[in-house]
Amino acid sequence: MKAIGLIKIEEGLVLTDPTMEIVDIRYPYPETLKKMVVEVNFKVDDSTFSHSRSYTFDTEGNDLVYNDALSLIKSHEVLKDFN
């Protein structure tokens, strides 16, 4: 997934035209599915820079499928700019 322009990943980390790869999606409480943890890797073209970060999302406790996970990711303030 790619974003265009300056993207503020966190305080002090702004990337230009970064690419984001979803590395892992986990459910730390599989018996209830109340949380989903998404690990992503950010990269910048023509650079060796790479930054990994995990984001935690509250879920409805339903059986989540891939599109539901993407919808949650797309609702995040930082991750919504990646297509």
Domain-wise residue ranges, the chain:
20-77
Q: Where are the beta strands (DSSP E) in the chain?
A: 6-10, 13-16, 18-26, 35-44, 50-58
Note the pLDDT tens digit of each residue in 57-69: 887 755 666 667 7
Locate tokens 């790869």: which residue?
21
Which two structure tokens, joined as six digits, stand for 15? 């990337």
Which residues pair with residue 42 across a beta bridge? Answer: 20, 51
**What are the tens digits of pLDDT across the range 42-58?**
999 889 999 999 999 88
pTM over 0.85: no
Instruction: Enumerate residues 6+ apart whose C-beta is below 8 A from 81.
Output: 3, 4, 5, 7
